[in-house]
Amino acid sequence: MAILRVSVMRLVVAAMAVAAGVLFFSGAGEARVLLTLDDFGAVGDGIANDTQAFLDAWNAACASTEPAVLAVPAGKTYQIWPVRLAGPCKKKLKLMISGTIAAPASPDEWAGRDPTKWLFVFRVDDLSVSGGGTIDGMGAEWWARSCKRKKTKPCSTVSAPKALQFEECRRVSVQGITMQNGPQFHLMFTRCTDVKASFLRVVAPESSPNTDGIHLNDTTHAQIMDNLISTGDDCVSMVGNCSDVRVKDISCGPGHGISIGSLGKNRTTDRIENVRVDTCLLTNTTNGVRIKSWQGGMGYAHNLRFEGIVMKNVSNPIIIDQYYCDQPTPCANQTQAVEVRKIEFAGIRGTSATEQAIKLACSDAVPCRDLELRNVNLTMVGGGAASAFCHRASGKAAGAVVPASCLAKAPHRMLGDATPAARVGS
């Protein structure tokens, strides 16, 4: 009875909001409607369950025949259980997060639900998220239980929820908010096109496992710019088939740096091309700019440019690793690999935390070709010279390259090639 009354109340409140409480305003010739979570009965004290109010508000905004702005009011914290926000929506939608959206702290709240999802946005186009507020994944208990961190049993190998996840989207932007303490990845786009992630602050402890900042999977035309990312894993990473990606003006660290891959896991075909990463400052990261692939994969990483990057105390400032293996048992050597070709590292300077500042460990089966090192200057953090390591990597060096380039001038043979030239130009 009480429950019924509450939901009737909520409906009345919702109806009132739509009928009367709504604000219309025009700008650039379009009327817009402003809805707030509170109109739908949300409490915002950080304790109450505001999930249904959030869903009701989303549904109203998504069904609006005018472009809608859905506000998460400042100064309040709304606790939201895992939600699926599905499109398509009728018109453009803005989610203006000025307060805090927080996840339940206990992983037990995911019992019976998909443990990999929290805020899951599916098939929504023309959405912008902004507002200066915070999305808090409350990941501490997930990290504490993870086998990646807790080496003694009982520990959990279940992959934890990604905080904000978009799947199959177009023209989505996430800008000017804080994303913190994600149980796993903070912001992820899968099978999306025309996306933007900028003016973001993404923070989680250095020790938190798998807390990548921004992750792309099968996504094209992406801009990741003007962000501060400081987490326990990659600041930016991309897998699957991604192209036309610009990563620019990023302050990264601590964390694992900026990563293309891991590609080719479980013999998959991944194609990454036309990626430009420039003007990034990496501090105290375990890698700088990295391309990593599993043996046995297929596809390629082509036309990637890393330019204008400053490293401060970075463990592997420039690294290509075609022998990536992030599993407890050693990975078997295989004769297939993701092809790495036409990769430029230009204007990269600063300090390496390890002696080997450049590591280009390419595949025996499919060596790396057309690599370029141009104006690179990396020294060891305490002073002292760093070194470069190459295995089956060819290309050219231009300008001053410190440590000296180890690239071979002539391409290495592919496994099974009659002559090295056989595959050139293929």
Ligand X SMILES: *[C@@H]1O[C@H](CO)[C@@H](O)[C@H](O)[C@H]1NC(C)=O
* Residue closer to ligand X (CB basis): 49 or 303: 49
- The residue assigned the tokens 């961190």 is 149
* Residue closer to ligand X (CB basis): 176 or 253: 253
Compute how many other C-beta atoms are within 10 angstroms of the C-beta atom of residue 220: 18
Site residues (CB under 6 A) for ligand X, limited to 184-203: 190-191
Q: Does 157 bind ligand X (CB under 6 A)?
A: no
* Residue closer to ligand X (CB basis): 8 or 400: 400
* Bridge partner residues of 242 (DSSP): 272
Q: How far is 233 from 159, CA to CA, in rounded Å?
A: 14
Site residues (CB under 6 A) for ligand X, limited to 96-135: none
Write down the least CB distance from residue 162 to ligand X, Å: 9
From 159, 175, 241, 336, residue interacting with ligand X (rule: CB under 6 A)? 241
Q: Does 361 bind ligand X (CB under 6 A)?
A: no
Rounded to the nearest 10 degrees, the angle between the axes of helix 51-63 and helix 2-16 is 30
Q: How many residues bind ligand X (CB under 6 A)?
A: 30
Ramachandran class of 249: left when φ > 0, alpha when ψ lies in -120 to 50, beta otherwise: left
From 149, 379, 406, 408, residue interacting with ligand X (rule: CB under 6 A)? 379
Q: Does 3 bind ligand X (CB under 6 A)?
A: no
* Residue closer to ligand X (CB basis): 25 or 396: 396
The three-state (H, E, C) secondary structure of 278-339, written as one string:
EEEEEECECCCEEEEECCCCEEEEEEEEEEEEEEEEECCCEEEECCCCCCCCCCCCCCCCCE
From 7, 207, 269, 335, residue interacting with ligand X (rule: CB under 6 A)? 269
Indicate which residue of 186, 215, 221, 256 is catalytic.
256
Tokens, residue 379: 């020294």
Cα-based angle 134, 137, 141 (whole degrees, multiple of 5) = 145
Write down the least CB distance from residue 113 to ligand X, Å: 8
Q: Does 36 bind ligand X (CB under 6 A)?
A: no
Write down the least CB distance from residue 291 to ligand X, Å: 15
Measuring CA to CA, how many Å separate 262 from each of 70, 183, 327?
Answer: 36, 20, 12
Known catalytic membership, residue 215: no
| Cis amide bond preceding 262, omega within 30 | yes
* Residue closer to ligand X (CB basis): 51 or 175: 51
The answer to whether 419 and 412 have CB atoms below 8 angstroms apart is no
Q: How far is 231 from 283, CA to CA, in rounded Å?
A: 12
Q: How far is 321 from 331, CA to CA, in rounded Å?
A: 14
Helices first, then strands: H and E counts in the chain? 3, 31
Write down the least CB distance from residue 1 to ligand X, Å: 18
* Residue closer to ligand X (CB basis): 180 or 217: 217
Residue 193 CA neighbour count, 13 Å, CB half: 3
Write down the least CB distance from residue 286 to ligand X, Å: 7
From 19, 332, 384, 409, residue interacting with ligand X (rule: CB under 6 A)? 332
Of the listed pieces 13-21, 125-133, 327-335, 390-398, which binds ligand X according to CB under 6 A?
A: 327-335
Write down the least CB distance from residue 311 to ligand X, Å: 11
Site string for ligand X, 49-88 (x = CB under 6 A): x-xx----------------------------x-------
Q: Which residues are catalytic?
A: 256
Which residues make up the interface to ligand X (CB under 6 A)?
49, 51-52, 81, 190-191, 217-218, 239-241, 253-254, 265-266, 269, 271, 283-284, 313, 315, 330, 332-333, 353, 377, 379, 381, 400, 402
